[in-house]
Structure 1
Amino acid sequence: MSNSHLFLKPGFIKVPLQNGVGRYVCQLQRVVLKFCKNHGSSRGMRDFIESDLVNFAMDNPAVVVYLKPRRHRSAVIKAEYLNGDQQWLGCKNFTKEEILKWLNLLVTQSQYHTGTRIRKLWHTDNPSIQGPWTPFTFRDPKLNLASFPNEELAKPQDSNETNHEALIELFKKQKLDDLEQRRAE
């Protein structure tokens, strides 16, 4: 294990506004495509801009696309998200198909989990006032006063019927109760 986690900001994974419950809100706000007009490593970016940029912009109307030509620099994609995070992607010698795949990835990811060291594996915004559940939550209180080893508690339970048979009996009982209710009405 490396010490790279020390430089990540700690936090929890949060889903913004329960995204996808009511309507989907694209988390990518802005994309800046930086490229050189003459440099050979920006050829894929220039080909993408000439052929596929209009279709990408029409498919993703919520994303603002900026073009920024720069002299003697390799191509870069800068993505800015609604939460203020930014992501940089160097596109040196990428083809236009690779650039389109990366842009589609940036559009679909949420950016809430990258660059964050997770404090706990489980987190809720509305914690229970009853406290956490433990395996002893619904145990019989007489176990608090029992002294162990206890012969009575060590005995196997006498159950001649299997779980399957118990379920069948419950089902039959429910059916009889429903019939009695209908007759009473």
Structure 2
Amino acid sequence: MTGISFIQQVSKSRNGVGAFIRPCKKVTLTFCNFGGSSKGMRDFLRLRLAKFTKEYPEIQFQVLQKPGFHPVLKGEYIGSEANVGKQICVKNWNIDVVENKLKLLVNSSGKQLKKPKQNVKSLNESVRGIWSPFHVDPAHRYKI
């Protein structure tokens, strides 16, 4: 009798296939209660934070009051080493800009921008051709 064995395989989770998991896990909003540079942040906290947290229930929001400091938005992401995330200073910005920058943090992947490792090479020849010192008029050449 031939038995058929079923092998269970655990599939790797790929973000966007099956279920979407937002990379941002925590957002910290830091502001000063009396400083002029925190006016936009205070307005956002008073008028729009409740609605914003209802839109993103999977994200933990923390509000910190630091007297004498400029307002800062800090995002922490899944898989980031030692809770390294992104920070945006929102000093002297109005309520709309604060909300847009917060949306930018929430919708970001958390990865830092890096320069490409390889140089860009073209498949086409240069329009000017290759420069050579022998293309210069002999009267203007450097003489040793």
Both structures adopt the same fold (TM-score exceeding 0.5): yes
Find the counterpart in structure 2 of residue 78 from structure 1: 74
**CA distance in structure 1 between the partners assigned to 2:13 and 2:115 by the alignment:** 21
1:7-18 pair list within 5 angstroms: 17-18=13-14
Q: CA RMSD in A?
A: 2.0
Which is richer in helix?
A: 1
Is 2:44 the partner of 1:48? yes
Q: CA deviation at 1:111?
A: 1.9
Per the alignment, in what secondary structure is the counterpart of residue 99 of structure 1?
helix
Work out the percentage of aligned pairs sharing the same amino acid: 29
Per-residue displacement from partner, 1:45-76 (whole Å, max 9, x unpaired)?
00000000001100001111000001111100
**CA distance in structure 1 between the partners assigned to 2:91 and 2:68 by the alignment:** 12
Q: CA deviation at 1:89?
A: 0.6
**CA distance in structure 2 between the partners assigned to 1:100 and 1:20 by the alignment:** 25
**CA distance in structure 1 between the partners assigned to 2:97 and 2:36 by the alignment:** 16
Per the alignment, in what secondary structure is the counterpart of residue 106 of structure 1?
helix
**63, 67, 86: which is aligned to 2:63?**
67
Find the counterpart in structure 1 of residue 123 from structure 2: none
Segment drifting more, 67-76 vs 17-26: 17-26
Find the counterpart in structure 1 of residue 26 from structure 2: 30
**CA distance in structure 1 between the partners assigned to 2:56 and 2:29 by the alignment:** 15
Structure 1 unaligned blocks of 5 or more: 1-15, 121-185
Per-residue displacement from partner, 1:66-103 (whole Å, max 9, x unpaired)?
00001111100111001223111101001111111111
**CA distance in structure 2 between the partners assigned to 1:54 and 1:104 by the alignment:** 14
Residue type at the aligned position of 2:54? M
- Contact 2:76–2:110 (Cα < 8 Å) also in 1: no
Structure 2 unaligned blocks of 5 or more: 1-11, 119-144
Residue type at the aligned position of 2:41? M
**CA distance in structure 1 between the partners assigned to 2:99 and 2:23 by the alignment:** 18
Find the counterpart in structure 2 of residue 94 from structure 1: 93
Which 4+ runs in 1 deviate beyond 4 A?
A: 117-120
Q: CA deviation at 1:18?
A: 2.1
Residue type at the aligned position of 1:99? V
CA separation of 1:111/1:17 partners in 2, compared to 1, >3 Å: closer, same or farther? farther
TM-score normalised by L of structure 2: 0.67
